[in-house]
Amino acid sequence: MRVGVLLSGEGTSLENLCERIDAGEVPAEVVVVIASKESAGGLERARRRGIPAVAVPRKRHPDVGEFNDRLHVELEKHGAELVALLGFLSPFQIRGYPGRVLNVHPALIPAFSGRGFYGSRVHEAVLAQGCRVSGATVHFADDEYDNGPIILQEAVPVREDDDVASLAARVQEAERRLVPEAVRLYAEGRLVVEGRRVRILERPASPADGPR
Amino acid sequence: MRVGVLLSGEGTSLENLCERIDAGEVPAEVVVVIASKESAGGLERARRRGIPAVAVPRKRHPDVGEFNDRLHVELEKHGAELVALLGFLSPFQIRGYPGRVLNVHPALIPAFSGRGFYGSRVHEAVLAQGCRVSGATVHFADDEYDNGPIILQEAVPVREDDDVASLAARVQEAERRLVPEAVRLYAEGRLVVEGRRVRILERPASPADGPR
């Protein structure tokens, strides 16, 4: 499974996905990393691994359509079959990838999701509301923020003395488990979308299962 | 700590709270049980335990103010210091009990909470959205639905084959842990509300702690 990764930050989630792929746990290959900022640390991580790394700076493409034109040119050029949004803070238009875009959100959707809830703002809101539980979500993305069907979620506790940094770190630990698992399940053909629900098949779909 | 319990249903959460009190785990006493339906099974459970049990049928008091007049007369008559809403499906007005009303909600507030989200509707919505995690919340109630500061939350998994009944049962298991614990912390004077957040003191507040 050829995966295109889009990111805006340091790429720790990319690094972790690559490690799980290298360990043989995820039948996938990251074929291109695209960042919405030239300064994104994820680009350097990709280059160190020999993965094509491209900056498509959002600020140089103020028109969201043109910005997405550039993203999709790169995805297609590298033959991405699946798109993973790993901390991508700009709007991504699905276009030719319906049902083939995974997004990770640092909260338990539907809580603290949608427009305005990204990055540390999510954790600030969780702490401000005094929640005892937060978590991470991997879902299929569509053209609305944080809207598509949920694939995996993991809850994490919010501690009495948490600040944004400590809560973010705990949520990122959960993300490091969820993202490779979701890519694996997708690559094995085990995710079946039924309306807003995602069913996970017990074992990989195969022709012997008959028509589906 | 004298606790008045308001409920609308079978009173399994009441029964569980009484068991924890009987076991010496919660320094409290249920002094009255008030139901919004004459048919509420919780009334019979209360009577079996010798707890005063009163029906204030919502349908015979269509005016919400008059309905609450009757509730508050009963609470005051029995000297309730804390009010616990354990599956109370009618509107309760806080009146003389600010910061002294606990409500249990069968989801992780702010998800699936607020007007229209009560009883099995909560679980139907969680399943319809395909969430992988739900949970239970105990919070201080104010005069808005599901709005007050969160005291305790516990996440529970949503299974692939869950229906409303199986998910409700798993959430209720969490509620059976949270409700007695919240009453205990309140009775021990260990809950400090700071804006929308609740701080749990490590040990009971005592005069030796100095001014707070």
Task: Provide the pLDDT confidence category of residue B120 given band limits of 50, 70 and 90.
Answer: very high
Domains of chain A from N-terminus onward: 1-97 (3.40.50.170), 106-138+154-212 (3.40.50.170)
Per-residue pLDDT, averaged over B136-140, amounts to 97
B139 is catalytic: no
Per-residue pLDDT, averaged over A126-137, amounts to 97
Amino acid residing at A73: V
Per-residue pLDDT, averaged over A26-50, amounts to 97
Average pLDDT of chain A, as a whole number: 94
Q: Tokens for B14, please give them.
A: 């009441």
- Interface-testing mutation among A105, A132, A196, A197, with chain B (most B C-beta atoms within 10 A): A132
A195 vs B contacts (CB less than 8 Å): 130
pLDDT by residue (tens digit) across A142-198?
888 778 999 999 999 999 999 999 999 999 999 999 999 999 999 999 999 999 999
pLDDT by residue (tens digit) across B31-74?
999 999 999 999 999 999 999 999 999 999 999 999 999 999 99
pLDDT for res A119 = 85
Q: Tokens for B82, please give them.
A: 């804390």
Amino acid residing at B58: R
- Is A161 near chain B, with CB under 8 Å? no
Say how far apart CA A13 and CA A172 lie, in whole Å.
8
A137 vs B contacts (CB less than 8 Å): 132
Amino acid residing at B195: G
pLDDT for res A145 = 76
pLDDT for res B204 = 64
Q: Does the pLDDT value for residue A206 go beyond 60?
A: no
Q: Does the pLDDT value for residue A64 go beyond 80?
A: yes
Q: Calculate helix-pair angle for A120-128, A164-187, nearest 10 degrees.
A: 120
